[in-house]
Structure 1
Amino acid sequence: MSRTCLVTGAASGIGKATAARLAQRGHTVLRADLRDGDIRADLSTPDGRAALVARARELTGGRLDAVVSCAGVAHFDPLTVRVNHFGAVATLDGLRPLLAAGTDPRAVVVGSIDSVHPTDPAIVAAALAGDEEAATAAARAAVDRGEGHLVYSSSKAAIARWVRRAAVTAEWAGAGVPLNAVAPGVVLTPLTRPLLDDPDLRALVERSVPMPLHGHARPEQIAPLIDWLVSPENTLVTGQVVFADGGADATLRGDGVW
């Protein structure tokens, strides 16, 4: 059965691989990205987020079967929170009415293993409160005090917690729409290439994200999991942060989370 799917961040990395897999399986795929694709939108801004939703409604006639929110950045900058958390939430909430009109609707956001790393509580709290101005200010303060590395992990922790909260609400579970997050480990993408090409940085990455099963991943290894989560076969999995990380989460946190 052909479905109509929208993938953000579809110009590269996991988004590109996921869009390609969905298209290969016969689905209609709308590719959204900052500069390339069927929809061009800047998810760091309210206007860009509104433009994404409006264009998606126009191109689909107001009906979507699946949404994959994959757009993301990893800068030591407040931009990271604006895209990774607020851009993702606006994408999913904004397209939810189109999903409600679809068949067996499903949604997935791409998180990160970094969500289990140290975070800045002020960034996370502001993001979960929906206060973009406060979250941006907290991210800027973290950068100013030399803790810019916390911005990315905080953005991913916030979106993971948002998924847990939102998935079981009337708007999502009550409407029959599974909502999940996928949390990859280190994936070989343009985002990670500069880190892995530097021997010292690569060693740091491997210490902070140990992946005993098969090592670093390719985007094509993450796409099948996303494909299943947004498929009609997924009738019960919701509110989950599914780690596709080669064992990194289990190595870092052990069994204490249970």
Structure 2
Amino acid sequence: MTRSYLVTGAASGIGRATRDLLLERGHRVIGVDLRNADIEVDLTTASGRDDVIGRATELSGGVLDGVVAVAGLSAPIAATVAVNYYGAVATLEGLRPLLAKSDAPRAATVASMTSIGPFDERLLNAIESGTEAEALGRGKELEDSGPEIGYLNYPTSKRALARWLRRQAPTEAWAGAGIPLNAIAPGIVLTPMTEPLMATPEGREQVLQSVPMPLNGPMGPAAPAELLVWLTSEVNTHVTGQVVFIDGGFDAVTRGDSTW
């Protein structure tokens, strides 16, 4: 059965792989990205997020079967928080009414294996309890402290997204409306940004020492795309509120028995 999807971050990486896989399987896909997409917007801005909802409503005819919020940044800047958390949440919440009109609605987003690592507590508190302006203000403070500290914008934003999802998925608005809401947490994904580091045996060894992935090592974007497509397919009737690690075993190595 042909389904209608919206995928953010559809021009590259995991988003593009997800879009391509859905198209390959005969589904309709509305792609969202800064450029080279059906809807070209900047998800760091409120106007860009509003444009996604308005244009998606027009292009979909008012009904979506799946929403996959992939768009994100990993840069050591405050804009990372704006896209990774506020852009993803605005996309999912804003398109929920269109999903509610589907006979089999599904939604998913992308967290990260880094969500279980070091984070900035002040930023997390600002995201969860303050305004976006306050969160971005703290994010700018981290940014101005240099790349190493500024990088905390990334894992903190992904941790906040995972916590939001866990809290929202069982509610009346999502589970009560029959909409499974899940996330994936990828390990190292081979993209144009990471490929140079992985191109030499020395670089690969350095990466795998800091991020052990005993099962097959780093992956291409097709692997997480397959998982996103399954989570947002009709066959997923009961998986919800989950952050599914697709990380070659990193989570098991890092946390061991602590989750149980």
Give TM class, smaller chain. Answer: over 0.9
CA offsets 1:62-94 (integer angstroms, 9 cap, x no match): 100000000011111000000000000000001
Residue 114 (structure 1) aligned with residue 114 (structure 2)? yes
Give, in angstroms, the shift of residue 194 of structure 1.
4.8
Contact 1:18-1:224 within 8 A present in 2 as well: yes
Distance of 1:199 and 1:155 partners within structure 2: 31
State how 1:15-164 maps to structure 2 within 5 Å. Answer: 15-129=15-129, 131-146=131-146, 147-164=149-166
Contact 1:74-1:191 within 8 A present in 2 as well: no
Contact 1:179-1:239 within 8 A present in 2 as well: yes
Give, in angstroms, the shift of residue 150 of structure 1.
0.9
Contact 2:112-2:185 within 8 A present in 1 as well: yes
Distance of 1:117 and 1:75 partners within structure 2: 16
Distance of 1:161 and 1:200 partners within structure 2: 36
CA RMSD of aligned residues (A): 1.5
Of 11-20 and 137-146, deviating more is 137-146
Normalising by structure 1, we get a TM-score of 0.96
Distance of 1:248 and 1:18 partners within structure 2: 23
Contact 2:67-2:106 within 8 A present in 1 as well: yes
For 1:222, the aligned partner's letter is P
Distance of 2:71 and 2:130 partners within structure 1: 19
Count of aligned residue pairs for this structure pair = 258
CA offsets 1:17-55 (integer angstroms, 9 cap, x no match): 111111111111111111111111110000000001100
Distance of 1:67 and 1:190 partners within structure 2: 25
Residue 242 (structure 1) aligned with residue 244 (structure 2)? yes
Of 225, 229, 232 in structure 1, the residue corresponding to residue 231 of structure 2 is 229
Distance of 1:130 and 1:3 partners within structure 2: 37
SS for the counterpart of 1:254 is helix
Distance of 1:130 and 1:60 partners within structure 2: 33
State how 1:172-211 maps to structure 2 within 5 Å. Answer: 172-197=174-199, 202-211=204-213
Distance of 2:57 and 2:31 partners within structure 1: 14
User: Match of 2:215?
Assistant: 213
5+ residue gaps, structure 2: none
5+ residue gaps, structure 1: none
Contact 1:34-1:41 within 8 A present in 2 as well: yes
Contact 1:113-1:243 within 8 A present in 2 as well: yes
For 2:163, the aligned partner's letter is R
Distance of 2:243 and 2:232 partners within structure 1: 14
Normalising by structure 2, we get a TM-score of 0.95
Contact 2:115-2:155 within 8 A present in 1 as well: yes
SS for the counterpart of 2:226 is helix
- Runs of 4+ aligned residues of structure 1 deviating over 4 Å after TM superposition are 197-204
Relative to structure 1, the CA distance from residue 202 to residue 81 in structure 2 (aligned partners, 3 Å threshold; closer, same or farther) is: farther
For 2:109, the aligned partner's letter is V
Give, in angstroms, the shift of residue 189 of structure 1.
1.2
Distance of 2:70 and 2:127 partners within structure 1: 18
Give, in angstroms, the shift of residue 227 of structure 1.
0.9
Give, in angstroms, the shift of residue 203 of structure 1.
4.7
SS for the counterpart of 1:255 is helix
Contact 2:188-2:247 within 8 A present in 1 as well: yes
